[in-house]
Homo-oligomer: A and B are copies of this chain.
Amino acid sequence: MILFLKKNTSDTQVENLVKWFDDMGIESHLSKGKFQTVLGLVGDTSAVDISLIEGLEIVETVKRIQEPFKNSNRKFHPDDTVVNVGDAKIGGKFFQIIAGPCSVESEEQICSIAKQVKEAGATLLRGGAFKPRTSPYAFQGLRAEGIELLLKAKQHTGLPIVTEIMDLSHLDLFADVDVIQVGARNMQNFELLKQLGKTDKPILLKRGLASTLEELLMSAEYIMAGGNENVILCERGIRTFETYTRNTLDISAIPLLKELSHLPIIVDPSHATGLSKLVRPLSLASVAGGADGLIIEVHNNPQCALCDGPQSITPEAFGDVVSEISPFLKLLGKEGLGGLV
């Protein structure tokens, strides 16, 4: 971190500042240039509050040299992280698709979809048990029962399951869940992230609607700082002024996150726009843009999904998407989808 001091800063003020850092255990190095007095902070400054420093009266501005994320930073971990979920590997050269309905509704429904998406190439099953809904009057998911039904579908198909946690108090219910999803609205639920960092389960961390890439990586950092390095990042659209789509898929997030971090990054083309007709082109674009996987909403009867109907495609349409992306994946040297590519 480099501090630019204001022109009229006195020597005493500079000395006090240096001492203040010293007291915090931070070494600093002064350089008086013709135009600017500059103070460089040495060592690990990730705990230093940049906005506090900026607030000091003698400081004109502050420049961070290091990114504030460490565990998730590619600089300190050049190789791609590959997250293993059962037989499915995500990251590096491995590409997987997580598919399933928005909400788990019944044993028949979830088992039937699980079977169909597996046949089409999905290697993980998703399904909502706890559902974050804008309205308190809307269906809130089958909750604990939903997780049990997902586990039955896992028994039948062998597919590892991915489902969303909404509150720390439910964590015990997720003991047999393979991947715990943290939804966009909880991306900065820091107490939740801290506790998930103490588990050894893969965490699917969705980007918040108005979160920057740096904030996403800082949230990954909360999990990793606790010792859990199995974090899968997920781009799912950000909020913009455009109204044709519910959100705007930030396709640049894929290559940028790949550069900044070693963590796998998958894309949710269903929630990214809220329009099922866009799932196919956005899946293709995400694959071409370098994604390590997709998470797609599939429903056997899109008209009867208990929630988020318009974003779901049928198992047949899902099969078509897999068929279309497969040759792209081969061109890009990716493997996965249960051996399909």
Chain B residue nearest to A192 in the complex (CB): B167
As a 0/1 sequence over residues 46 to 71 of chain A, the CB contacts with chain B under 8 angstroms (1 = contact) are 11010111111100010101001000
Residues of B within 8 Å of A312, CB to CB, are: 55
Q: How far is the CA of A281 from the CA of B250 in the complex (A)?
A: 13
Which residues of A are in contact with B by a Cβ distance under 8 Å? 2, 4, 29, 31, 33-36, 38, 40, 42, 46-47, 49, 51-57, 61, 63, 65, 68, 132-140, 166-170, 185-186, 188-194, 208-210, 212-215, 218, 221-222, 225, 238-245, 248-252, 254-256, 259, 272-274, 276-278, 281-282, 284-290, 302-303, 305-310, 312, 327-328, 331
Q: Which 3 A-B pairs have the closest CB atoms?
A: A210-B210, A55-B309, A288-B288
Report how many copies the assembly holds.
Answer: 4
Q: Complex: how many Å from CA A228 to CA B306?
A: 28
Expressed in whole angstroms, the Cα–Cα distance for A166 and B213 within the complex equals 23
Q: Is the CB of A46 within 8 A of B135?
A: yes
CB of A29 within 8 A of CB of B40, answer no
Q: List B contacts of A287 (CB < 8 A).
A: 288
**Contact call B40/A36, Cβ cutoff below 8 A:** yes
CB–CB B241/A305 < 8 A: no
Cα distance A49–B102 when bound, in Å?
13
A212 to B240, alpha carbons, bound, how many Å? 10
Asked if residues B52 and A282 are in contact (CB atoms below 8 Å), the reply is: no
Instruction: List, in ascending order, chain B residues with CB within 8 A of A274's CB.
Output: 51
Residues of B within 8 A of A309 (CB): 49, 51-56
Known: A29-B34, A42-B35, A288-B285. A252 touches B245 (CB 8 A): yes
